[in-house]
Structure 1
Amino acid sequence: MRTPEDARDSRKEAAWGVAYGIAAYSSWGVVPVFWKQLRHVGAVELLAHRTVWSLLSFVALTLAAGQRRALGAALRDRRVVAAMAATGALVSANWVLFIYAVAVGRVLDASLGYFINPLLSVLLGMLFLRERLRPAQWLALGLAASGVVYLAVRAGSIPWIALGLASTFGVYGLLRKVAAVGSLPGSTLETSFIAPLGAAYLAALHAEGTGAAGRADLRTHLLLAATGIVTALPLVWFTNAARRLSLTTVGFLQYLAPSGQFLLAVLVYDEPFTTAQAVSFAFIWTGLAVFSADAVLRARRSGRTSAS
């Protein structure tokens, strides 16, 4: 039987979890502001800096969290190493695509991709983890797919930035879910595969007499160094939230990120918001509403069942 002290501790943990979740997803929602400051640096070069500085940040955080042994155990597991090599490639593709979208003024497309991502994750769970979809989830997926197809037909082209971001992050999440490794050791390991490539690319640029390193102003150098912590800190906050909250709550908080990106694109960066995009977003938002309502109802039913 739970005591009043246990209940207070549970509420306190949940409150901290919500705070961590809001911090993580809100930071991801406004991060285009940071990347806009570096739009004078090429997308590939920026990705190279991000991998190098992220590795340094993840190593420091892993050691500070006392997870050195967990990292060593992951390095000795061939399956984990192979999975993290794959996730490293996927997260690199996601990063460079997002950086490119911000640099060319297509934050709205990036927002669309991250709105699609939760529903794509459900589909991947069905295909690869044998998770069964409920009728409401099928409806949510159908609405989201209709929105993407409508936008593609009206635009005369596939919304490749949105689909690229959603698919790379969706498959990344799937692999990280099934890999037997913790968040920080896993992130450290996956960036250790891509950081040497980034360092080699930066060294080649420097040898050619190009690139920002050693040639840009102090502000640019400080911003490049900050790419590591900008990448690592939200992940730590997310991990702390996930440990304290239900998946339903985490799922709701997830929509803060693309919502922030959407508002930035339309209200701050004056990106055009066409009728076709409005219809497409309406389909996807309706799908998310159906998906979220179904999750809440299921959680409430489970709670009543547990209580009885």
Structure 2
Amino acid sequence: MKKGLWYAILAYTAWGLLPVYWRSFDSLLAGEILSHRVIWSFVFMAILLLIGKSRWTEFRKMVTNGKMLLQIGACSILISSNWLIFIWAVNNGHVIETSLGYYITPLINIMLAVMFLREKPSRSQWVAVALAGAGVLLATIDYGRFPWVSLSLAFSFGLYSLVKKRVSYDASIGLAGETVIVFPIAVAYIAYLHFSHHDSAWTLPPISLAMLLLSGVATALPLLWFAKAAARLPLSMLGFIQYIGPSITLLLSVFLFKEKFSPVLLVSFSLIWTALIVYALASMRVARTSVAK
């Protein structure tokens, strides 16, 4: 569990900082950025698999297993949808809304954990959920319109977390499978942009182009860390650690991207952070009780 905790912290810290990374490509279409992200993630994961020949053998076994292929396909669709919405939102001035989406995600995770994994949060943990829910409701009301970006991000990543929790393959092999499925679509879209003269990636300054080519590393490492965390931690606990990511994103949106931050949002995020502290203390108490037994 301790290892899982550190993997989760690494993953969510990296995801919290990613808006700065994707904002450097705001001259590109969201679909073009996503396609490059998929292509270079595939290349990075293929290199990792080729380095370890035993993993390559495991990968071939996995993609020939019908049940696992369905699980990989579901993960691939969910995470690709999440990436596309996130990139579009960041590059169109909706960073606070992405932050709200990832604040909602832990609530979705807990709901899914109770419904499908039969996890049973303690009374204190339910109090934390109620506090976080109140904070999210306040933020939604203050936002003033239906937060489709936030809810789309929350449900796509919540369901992705659930599927990852139920699968049994190695993290790197699973991620390779997820990128393989959408790789042909990404290549086809890049080809379409090129032949219709709408591609912009190759006109980027050299440093920005190099960063885009490294998007596979920036994408794959946090997902690998997340997968390792998901294998070691309860889904509900994983959900609450996730508040690290949107908190970093929120600070970036206010202080770096200069998006509007109202007093109501301050109250709502204070409620959410209070919930995080309550949940953490309750989880520590549950862990100590389990060890004592």
Report the TM-score when normalising by structure 1.
Answer: 0.84
Q: Partner letter of residue 264 of structure 2?
A: A
Q: Which residue of 1 aligns with 2:276?
A: 288
Name the CA distance, whole Å, in 1 between partners of 2:205 and 2:15. 26
**Candidates 131, 135, 143, aligned match of 2:131:** 143
Q: Deviations over 1:157-189 (max 9, x none)?
A: 122222221211110010111123221111111
Larger radius of gyration between Structure 1 and Structure 2: 1
Name the CA distance, whole Å, in 2 between partners of 1:152 and 1:232. 31
The alpha-carbon distance between structure 1 residues 139 and 37, as it changes in their structure 2 partners (threshold 3 A), is: same
> What displacement does 1:198 show?
1.0
**Candidates 82, 86, 89, aligned match of 1:101:** 89
Residues 119, 288 of structure 1: 8 Å contact kept: no
Residues 24, 234 of structure 1: 8 Å contact kept: yes
**Candidates 21, 43, 64, aligned match of 2:51:** 64
Q: Partner letter of residue 174 of structure 2?
A: G
Secondary structure of 1:67 counterpart: helix
Q: Which residue of 1 aligns with 2:285?
A: 297
1:177 partnered with 2:142? no
1:113 partnered with 2:113? no
The alpha-carbon distance between structure 1 residues 132 and 149, as it changes in their structure 2 partners (threshold 3 A), is: same
Q: Which residue of 1 aligns with 2:117?
A: 129
Name the CA distance, whole Å, in 1 between partners of 2:75 and 2:227. 17
- Structure 1 unaligned blocks of 5 or more: 1-12
> What displacement does 1:234 show?
2.3
Q: How many residues are aligned here?
A: 291
The alpha-carbon distance between structure 1 residues 128 and 20, as it changes in their structure 2 partners (threshold 3 A), is: closer
Q: Which residue of 2 aligns with 1:161?
A: 149
Moved more, 197-206 or 176-185: 176-185
**Candidates 179, 199, 217, aligned match of 1:191:** 179
Runs of 4 or more, structure 1, over 6 Å off, are: 16-19, 248-252
Q: Partner letter of residue 145 of structure 1?
A: G
> What displacement does 1:253 show?
5.3
Moved more, 161-170 or 210-219: 210-219
1:35 partnered with 2:13? no
Residues 175, 224 of structure 2: 8 Å contact kept: no
> What displacement does 1:80 show?
0.9
Q: Deviations over 1:83-118 (max 9, x none)?
A: 111111110111011112211222222222223322
Residues 38, 223 of structure 1: 8 Å contact kept: no
Name the CA distance, whole Å, in 2 between partners of 1:23 and 1:181. 21
Q: Partner letter of residue 61 of structure 1?
A: L
Moved more, 124-133 or 168-177: 124-133
Secondary structure of 2:276 counterpart: helix
Identity over aligned residues, as a percent? 35
> What displacement does 1:284 show?
2.3
Q: Partner letter of residue 141 of structure 2?
A: V
Report the TM-score when normalising by structure 2.
Answer: 0.88
Q: Deviations over 1:180-210 (max 9, x none)?
A: 3221111111111111111101100100111
Q: Partner letter of residue 30 of structure 1?
A: L
Residues 55, 191 of structure 1: 8 Å contact kept: yes
Residues 240, 279 of structure 2: 8 Å contact kept: no
Name the CA distance, whole Å, in 1 between partners of 2:151 and 2:38. 23
Moved more, 183-192 or 259-268: 259-268
- Structure 2 unaligned blocks of 5 or more: none
Q: Which residue of 1 aligns with 2:199?
A: 211
> What displacement does 1:18 show?
6.8
Name the CA distance, whole Å, in 1 between partners of 2:238 and 2:136. 25
> What displacement does 1:264 show?
1.3
The alpha-carbon distance between structure 1 residues 252 and 86, as it changes in their structure 2 partners (threshold 3 A), is: closer
